[in-house]
Amino acid sequence: MENYQIAVIPGDGIGKEVMPEGVKVLEAAAQASASFKCQYTYFPWGCEYYLSRGSMMEKDALKILEKFDAIYFGAVGFPSVPDSVSLRGMRLAICQGFDQYANIRPAVLLPGIQSPLAGKGPEAIDFIVIRENTEGEYCGVGGRAHRGLPIEVAVQSGVFSRVGIERVIRFAFQLAQKRRGCLVSATKSNALEHAFELWDEVFAQVGLEFPDVNAEQVLVDALAARFVLRPESLDVVVASNLFADILTDLGAALAGSLGMAPTANLNPERMYPSMFEPIHGSAPDIYGRQIANPVGMIWSGALMMDFLGQHEVSKHIVAAIRMLTGRGQPLTPDIGGSGRTFEVGNAVAQIVRESFA
């Protein structure tokens, strides 16, 4: 039986509320399937850790995390610490440090969930955005000069390498090949001509290797409109760090709630552990009330199981989520229910157990 070492980082805010539900469902799946075991090691890193210790994680955090099979991550950020400190000190440090260059972000409207788009049902909203996750606009290159003076300037550079672009685009083509065979690349080469002309060239070159995929290059602003007007035309989308970050909050909203969208930060070559987390943040506005939707966290656990090779287990978890939303309760208030966070976790865990029985 496979035995996986999982590093668990609940983080801040509702990360601490949804993480127990994610682990609960994984444990239900482990027991019911009898096909794997997980050993969880918890790390108390985050904004509270920063306020008492001066850093978001332990100094040698990446060395510590390196030996795990996967990282299960809640959310990071709290009003007590500047977001730039918390994000760069943790999530970006892990994604970039472990070269998790392919960030997978499904936008799927589940049965029973109402999209804010009138007349669009589950058949219309079922696509995956692949976000470049290690460079681009979030590389952190730049600086500020003349701080506080009227002549103050800030420079924030984007870094786009041929290698970095090519590997994420190839990953996206391979995924499109396994799905409905349509890939859209989102750029802005009319205004950001240096970075995105390179991106477009690489997209065209890699596309030659995949004649069976219908490849389209679209400007990101037009694509934002298309997300809303014709989501059914989307299968796989690939975009830079910033563009895909924005597009995927839109995708999650179209699929009913930011609280339900999962993500996988993959190092496809498996040189380093990959990281699995809901796309939402720490939601300080609802923290502490047990009303956070744990579905994004639970679904991210399914993505983790899939990447670890437990494909059947992953399918059972996703099917359990679909059964719950289709049935309609308990659901959390963000999707119109009155259920509490732990009740949703209990319900999904129960359905998972029954599905293996």
Site for ligand NAI, rule CB under 6 A = 14, 18, 75-77, 83, 87, 91, 258-259, 277, 280-286, 292-293, 296, 332, 334
Q: Are the C-beta atoms of residues 28 and 62 closer than 8 Å to each other?
A: no
Among ligand NAI, Mg ion, none, what does residue 77 contact (CB within 5–8 Å per kind)?
ligand NAI
Quote the least distance from Cβ 125 to ligand NAI, whole Å: 18
Among ligand NAI, Mg ion, none, what does residue 331 contact (CB within 5–8 Å per kind)?
none
If one asks whether residue 21 binds Mg ion (CB under 5 A), the answer comes out as no
Quote the least distance from Cβ 51 to ligand NAI, whole Å: 14
Q: Which is nearer to ligand NAI, 91 or 170 (CB)?
A: 91
Query: 312 vs 32, 55, 125, 306, 321, CA distance in Å?
Result: 12, 39, 24, 8, 14
The rounded distance, in Å, linking the Cα atoms of 73 and 7 is 8
Which window, 94-102, 134-142, 210-218, 243-251, contacts Mg ion (CB under 5 A)?
A: 243-251
Among Mg ion, ligand NAI, none, what does residue 245 contact (CB within 5–8 Å per kind)?
Mg ion
Among Mg ion, ligand NAI, none, what does residue 286 contact (CB within 5–8 Å per kind)?
ligand NAI
Helix axes 295-307, 341-356, angle to 10 degrees: 40
Number of residues that bind Mg ion (CB under 5 A): 1
Quote the least distance from Cβ 239 to Mg ion, whole Å: 12
Quote the least distance from Cβ 252 to Mg ion, whole Å: 9
Quote the least distance from Cβ 86 to ligand NAI, whole Å: 6
> Nearest Cα to 225, choosing from 247, 242, 203, 200?
247
Cβ-proximal residues to 145 (8 Å cutoff; 6+ apart), any chain: 152, 153, 155
Quote the least distance from Cβ 216 to ligand NAI, whole Å: 28
Which window, 120-128, 245-253, 300-308, 309-317, contacts Mg ion (CB under 5 A)?
A: 245-253
Q: Are the C-beta atoms of residues 33 and 308 closer than 8 Å to each other?
A: no
Q: Which residues pair with 8 in a beta bridge?
A: 42, 72
Which window, 44-52, 58-66, 73-81, 242-250, contacts Mg ion (CB under 5 A)?
A: 242-250
Q: Which is nearer to Mg ion, 193 or 221 (CB)?
A: 221
Q: Compute φ and ψ for 345, nearest 5 degrees.
A: -60, -45
Quote the least distance from Cβ 248 to Mg ion, whole Å: 7
The rounded distance, in Å, linking the Cα atoms of 181 and 40 is 37
> Nearest Cα to 200, choosing from 236, 158, 162?
162
Which uninterrupted H or E stretch holds 143?
Answer: strand 142-145
Among positions 132, 245, 277, 343, the unique one binding Mg ion when judged by CB under 5 A: 245
User: Counting beta carbons within 10 angstroms of the beta carbon of residue 140, is it exposed (0 to 12), middle (13 to 18) or buried (19 or more)?
Assistant: middle
Among ligand NAI, Mg ion, none, what does residue 60 contact (CB within 5–8 Å per kind)?
none
Q: Which is nearer to ligand NAI, 206 or 348 (CB)?
A: 348
Q: Which residues pair with 103 in a beta bridge?
A: 131, 265
Q: Which is nearer to ligand NAI, 137 or 277 (CB)?
A: 277
Q: Which is nearer to ligand NAI, 135 or 235 (CB)?
A: 135
Pairing of strands 262-266, 102-108: antiparallel
Supply 26's token pair. Answer: 């994984």
> Nearest Cα to 108, choosing from 235, 215, 211, 199?
235
Quote the least distance from Cβ 276 to Mg ion, whole Å: 15
Q: Compute φ and ψ for 162, nearest 5 degrees.
A: -60, -45
Q: Which is nearer to ligand NAI, 18 or 247 (CB)?
A: 18
Helix axes 341-356, 15-33, angle to 10 degrees: 10
Interface with Mg ion by CB under 5 A: which residues? 245
